Amino acid sequence: MGFWTHKRVVVTGGDGFLGRYVVALLKKKGCRYIFVPRKKKYDLRKLGPIKRLLRETKPDIIIHLAAVVGGIGANRINPGRFFYENLIMGVQLMEQTRLFKIKKFVAIGTICAYPKFTKVPFNEDDLWEGYPEETNAPYGLAKKMLLVQAQAYREQYGMNSIFLLPVNLYGPSDNFVPQHSSHVIPAIIKKCFDAKIHKDDSITVWGTGRPTREFIYVEDAARAIIIAAEKYNKPEPVNIGSGEGIAIKDLVGLIVKMTGFKGKIIWDASQPDGQPRRLLDIRRAKKEFGFKAKVRLKEGLRKTISWYKRQKEFFQT
């Protein structure tokens, strides 16, 4: 508890899906000085607002969660935007962190940074063994450049910057609405409930269902970030995952069963599958700062579906 009591912490993206859980956990741990920059006042794509943010808040630690992100559809539509905005936010923020002599910078990367055909489970040492899956490459490479910057700044300037690689997140208050920006779990949950409401006899799912994925419950991911911010101070990147893999076809089957949808699943093979396989080697996180995910996939899905169902019932009353 004592570590966070007097720390001044800036959480970029603190009003987003993951950010809200990180902020809530910081408060629970006794952090009294948490600042969440809002885009309207602090546009992190621009140098002036970044400098103003750091002058006004004087943080000890920056946790950089802010990102422009979405599912396969969003990545296909916005490759240039996703590359530029993610890169420019991170690069300028980390440079100003150095110039303002802030004690620690926690950069959040993405599993999309891994090569398309990385051997499973993905080990952090394999990050540079090939090009990322094409659909997500601009976003993945933009985030991976923050690892290069963090390591270079540590070597030249002695700056304490760490780089974490969370696997796909899910959980209550995820993004369920936009057609192209939702990730697979919220997208399928929404499809199932919408089909039940409209009495549709089928849902259509992108791809073949053959790829495998790993997911981490958002509360677990937030806990990993807070522990790493407190305890980890090395240049090597660290995977943040659950270690539990599942084929997309099996995942969809689970969600269909849990939501009570009785119709047919139509697989649209004309749409991309994305990366063929995803599963992280999670040993480094356990070894370096003692992190292990607590919430298994089925339990997390139940919690997420239950939350979403309550929202649907609220909006329909």
218-231 vs 17-28: helix axis angle to the nearest 10?
Answer: 60
Which pLDDT tens digit goes with each residue over 88-118? 999 999 999 999 999 999 999 999 999 999 9
- Domain assignment of residue 303, yes or no: no
The total domain count for the chain is 1
What percent of the chain clears pLDDT 90, i.e. is strictly above it? 86
> Mean of the pLDDT values across residues 141-164?
98
- Domain assignment of residue 28, yes or no: yes
- Out of 139, 153, 232, 308, pick the active-site residue: 139
**Residue 69: its pLDDT value, please?**
81
What percent of the chain clears pLDDT 70, i.e. is strictly above it? 96
Contact status, residue 254 vs residue 188, Cβ threshold 8 Å: no
Which pLDDT tens digit goes with each residue over 161-175? 999 999 999 999 998
**Residue 181: its pLDDT value, please?**
53
- Domain assignment of residue 102, yes or no: yes
- Domain assignment of residue 94, yes or no: yes
Whole-angstrom Cα distance, residue 36 to residue 53?
Answer: 10
Residue 74 has pLDDT above 60, yes or no: yes
- Domain assignment of residue 251, yes or no: no
**Residue 271: its pLDDT value, please?**
86
**Residue 60: its pLDDT value, please?**
98
- Domain assignment of residue 235, yes or no: yes
**Residue 73: its pLDDT value, please?**
77
Which pLDDT tens digit goes with each residue over 201-213? 999 998 999 999 9
Whole-angstrom Cα distance, residue 201 to residue 185?
Answer: 20
- Domain assignment of residue 209, yes or no: no
* Cα dihedral sign, 106-107-112-113: negative
Q: Which domain holds residue 235?
A: 2-170+215-244+276-295
> Mean of the pLDDT values across residues 258-269?
95
Whole-angstrom Cα distance, residue 110 to residue 121?
Answer: 15
Whole-angstrom Cα distance, residue 186 to residue 118?
Answer: 26
Residue 183 has pLDDT above 70, yes or no: yes
Contact status, residue 132 vs residue 112, Cβ threshold 8 Å: yes
Average of per-residue pLDDT values in the chain: 94
> Mean of the pLDDT values across residues 177-187?
73
CATH number of the domain within which 8 lies: 3.40.50.720
Q: Look up 139 and say whether it is catalytic.
A: yes
Cβ neighbours of residue 137 closer than 8 Å, sequence gap 6 or more:
79, 112, 131
**Residue 276: its pLDDT value, please?**
84
**Residue 138: its pLDDT value, please?**
96
- Domain assignment of residue 231, yes or no: yes
pTM of the model: 0.93
Whole-angstrom Cα distance, residue 111 to residue 108?
Answer: 10
